[in-house]
Amino acid sequence: MSWYGVTDIWTYVVGAIGIILLPGPNSLFVLSVATARGVRAGYRGAMGVFLGDSILLGLVGLGAAGLLRTYPALFMVVKYAGAVYLGWVGVNLLRAALLRWRTSPTDVQAHAQPAEPATSAAMDQPFRRALVISLLNPKAILFLLSFFVQFIDPQYESPAVPFLILSAIIMGASAAYLSALIFAGVRLAQTFRRRARLAASLSAGVGGLFMWFAAKLASASLH
C-alpha cells in the first residue's frame, strides 16, 4: 500500500526528523553564523544549505551515487576536498577564538563594554560557505540514496512523484530545524556580548568539531 508512490510515509517522516537532528557541519555552521552575525546572516547560511541539499537530491535522482561507486578515484577526490575545506573552516574558527581569548577583557569589564562574539573569515559569505560545506560531502549522496529507496514503491508508474514528495518532506523539516537554530543562536549572542571569553570558548569548540568532521570525512569509505 503506497500513497502517491510513497510507502510507509510516517516511518519516513520520523526517520527524516531523526536524521536532521543529528549534529553535522551544515547545522553547526548555520548556528555559528547566526550567533556571530545575526538572523539575516544565519538565513543566508541556511539558504546555502537548502541549495546544496537540493543539488545533492537532484544528483541522487540522476544516479550520482552509482557514479561514485563505479569510479572510486572520483569519490576520493571529492572526499578529500571536503575534508580539507571543513578542516580549513575549523582552523579559522580556532584562530579567531585564540585571538579573542587573548584580547578579551574580563567578564566584569565586558558588562561595561559589551563585545561582539568571536568571528573569523570562516563566517564571511555564509551563503557560499554553507553551500560548499553541503556539497563537499559524498557520503550524503550515498546516504540519501540508501534512505530514499526504502520508501519509494518500485511499481509506481512515475518514480519522480514519490521522489519529490520525500524531498519536500525532508527539506521542510530541515527548514524548520535551521530556523530554530538561527533564533537560538541570536539568543546565545546576547549572552556572549556580556561574556567575551565564553564566546571564544564556544568558537574554539565549534572549530574543534569541524576538524573532527574533516577527519571523519577523510576516513569515510563507500562501504
Q: What is the pLDDT of residue 49?
A: 92
- Cα(65)–Cα(96) distance, integer angstroms: 37
Question: Using CB atoms within 10 A of its CB, is residue 173 exposed (0-12), middle (13-18) or buried (19+)?
Answer: middle
Q: Note the pLDDT of residue 107.
A: 45
Residue 114: what pLDDT?
41
Distance from chain centroid for Cα 112: 35
- pLDDT reported for residue 122: 57
DSSP annotation of 104: P
CA angle (19 as vertex; 33, 209 as ends), nearest 5: 45
Q: List all residues 6 or more positions away from 178 whose beta carbon is below 8 Å from its beta carbon.
A: 27, 30, 42, 46, 49
- Coil vs helix vs strand at 116: coil
Q: Spell out the domain ranges in the chain.
A: 2-218
One digit per residue, the tens of pLDDT, for the chain of length 223 reads: 677 888 888 888 888 888 788 778 888 889 888 888 889 999 999 999 999 988 888 887 777 667 777 778 877 887 788 788 888 888 887 887 777 677 665 544 444 444 444 445 556 689 999 999 888 876 677 676 667 777 878 777 887 788 888 889 989 999 999 999 999 888 877 766 666 666 667 777 777 877 887 887 777 775 6
pLDDT at site 46: 94
Contact 130, 30 (CB under 8 A): yes
Residue 196: per-residue pLDDT: 63
User: Which pLDDT value is given to residue 43?
Assistant: 95
Helix crossing, 72-103 with 126-135: angle to 10°?
A: 140
Q: Report which residue type is found at 171.
A: M
Which parts of the chain fold into alpha helices (H)?
Answer: 9-21, 25-37, 39-61, 64-70, 72-103, 107-112, 126-135, 138-148, 160-192, 196-218
| 176/26 Cα distance (integer angstroms) | 14
pLDDT in tens, 64-115: 667 777 778 877 887 788 788 888 888 887 887 777 677 665 544 444 444 4
